[in-house]
Structure 1
Amino acid sequence: MRKGRVALTAAAALGVVATSALVTGCGSGGSDDVTLKLVAADYGDSSANGSQKYWDELTAAFEKDHPGIKVDVDVYSWDVVDDKVKEMVDAGKAPDMAQIGAYADYAAAGKLYSADRLLSIPVQADFLSETRDASQVDGVQYGLPFAASTRRLFYNKTLFEKADIEPPKTWSQLVADARALKAQGVRYPFALPLGKEEAQAETLIWTLSNGGGYIDDVGGYAIDDKRNIAAVDWLKKDLVDAGLTGPVTPAKLNRTPAFQAFAAGQVGMLAGHPTLMNMAKAKKLDYGDVAIPGPDGTPRSTMGVNDWMMAFKQGGHPDQVGDFLDYVYSEKNVLAFSREYTLAPVTVSASETMASSARDKDIRPFIDELSGATFYPANKTSWPQVSADIKAQIGTAVSGDVSAAAVLGGIQNSAAAAEAAE
């Protein structure tokens, strides 16, 4: 017997864990062997910690305890994994599960199982409440949060000491620090990666910092909100035009080379996610991280990011898929994944464990910032196209003669049209 929908808050998860044996007492059912296909993204930053190794170890342990269910996992880089799944779905060969960056298109097309058809009650209730809105389409949860992170301002302690400056708390302090770093000959006083790799994230960081964001109070797109325009204008006038963002124009600077430059000691400060800690430590860089500055201090909201797990209906076997996903989302396995790849966990149980563990002290600020974070509107089927438009166009708003108002206005018009067509 599996699993029934339930409307519980994530905070209530611990109160229902004791009933899990009753809820999930029935097994997969049936005597025939089933092989499930999972396509997943690679979170590793080297061959030593690639995600294929993680999944191979997890599936081996699962299969040992679940005779009759095999799980075949193919791992692809983030550059291609979403396209790979789309190709499979378009060819009529959808995987049983996919762990990728977006789910809403598939949910809207009726291709996905809902969470309540798959997960036991304790597992479904254990997801952090902050992720709930972004995981639902028309009030039904189809996206299963898989990995989370927020962004903080990383800074090079050695360069800051040489320049005799402190990490900034406001926009004006950030600009003053960048000027001091430039005077010391720092290659990238403030790195601003607005290239196509993740420009939608960098833009959201600084628009949220000014009280804006991509969505208005009623859930519609607000790309050209006046607070967003003011934030992009500030980036252009006070940082880019002032020569404080380094030798590569922001429109051509991607996140990965920016992170690599930081780890190599060439960047004074930039917005980064927890993976940057690993890169910095590997290079023995003395770094610090603080909250993203706001115009007058801490911003109204920080940016949160979720990656998603989803299960396709095409292959059937929802009970076996559910058994596997219950295993994936056990506290033990969420902790193992989060610690391996230095990411914030997506469940209450794992978050509470990491928040109280000395071994996880470096990532604790990122976990704390998930509360109240603002996420991409991943529940909108139009979001992938809007995100692509931001990636392609936002760099021109800080590096050319086109105004921020014009660029953001154009993206808004396209976003509104795409939303109307949903």
Structure 2
Amino acid sequence: MVEEEDLAARITRLVEEVGRDKALLSQRLKDINPLDLAQVFQDLDDDIRDIVFEALEPAAAALLLDETDPATRERIIQESTPEELSQLVEVMPPDEGADLVDLLPEQKEKAVLEALEPPKATEIQELLEYDPETAGGLMTSKFAVLKQDMTVGQAIESTQGQVEAEDIYHLYVVDDAGVLKGLVPIRRLISARRDTPLSDIMQTEVISVLTNVDQEEVARMADMYNLAAIPVVDDLGRLQGIVTLDDVIDVIREEASEDVYRMAGTSAQHPTLESPGRRLVFRLPWLLILVVAGLINSIILRHFGHTLETITAVTFFIPVIIAMAGNVSLQSSSIMVRGLATGEVIYGRFFKILLGELSTGLLIGLACGTFIAFGSLLLHVESAKLSLAVGIALFFSISVAAVMGTVMPLMFHRLGADPAVASGPFVTTLNDICGLVIYLSVATALLT
């Protein structure tokens, strides 16, 4: 954090020293890595930020725009002209350029595409046809392609001009129709005899994905098979592009952050990057659910009013019962949400997973129930039955919470909803109600 503050202060002083001498500022900014600059860009004053961005060379500005926070990126896009944006898209990799163009309003998008060089515009338009959160939306068209009937020597000569390929470790082999037939690791290519047919050294078993496969599945497959890049094909098996490791890492990071934010009942991006009104839209519905849950809890308390009036000490342990049940359900649901995101949890293992979480919940409930029973006995020596009621209630509340925290994310996932939504306020609220009903029912049965 200190380093980021030092860099922001350094950039501010630099702008104050050189003023609006764009050429001099551009030269001085070359000493700063654009990735480091992107980390502190949002912390700069608006006027400083504008001066710095205008002074950056197109390649550095494009990299900064791709790596900076969403709010800053949106502001830059709004304030830039189509001509300025087209210069940035020209130096971007095709997939990143398509992502940028996809953020533009329709008229601005059209103007940017018209300002691009025809080959670049064609690449971008082809990528824009795909959903941005699918393999087609992630892939790049910059990769080395070889024909199946080539020799090693011909393949080496062919790849020498493909300097813009994003995957330099593998060469992809296709037939005359463009159908993916295999791949050749670069090390195997350069170590083979030049007259060796390419088909003799290529790997024919290639892990690939269709263009419409969700980005989470792409990341899961790349992780499972330890792939530096994964080829993307159409329904006929024709090679359309590749998804590289940096894009896979971005997907994993974005999906993990998205799950965390949604578990908290907010939107899919960092809440601090949104306007207060947008934060309200995403957070208020879940808070209203909690209000409704509070009203239901008040009805439950009223129903068991006689028990509470007769034995006041019963109320002392309500917060403990509710809190413990909520914590256990949140642990279980977090495990399930993460497992669904990584592919470690599948429906074929449902009963095994459920049994495992139930067993864990029973053991936790037994340990916590026993502990709180003895603890409450020390506090209320005159009522052994109260201690027993608290212990039994906590045991059952935790067990139910573990099951609910396991089942609800799977149910939401099965219904096509985001399971992360079920792991925050929704499950916690249900467990509050269940825990309260269990505790007061047990207390009523044993004490009145």
TM-score range, shorter chain: under 0.3
Which structure carries more relative contact order (alpha carbon 8 Å, separation 6+)?
A: 1
State TM-score, norm by structure 2. Answer: 0.24
More strand by share: 1
Between Structure 1 and Structure 2, whose CA radius of gyration is higher?
2
More helix by share: 2
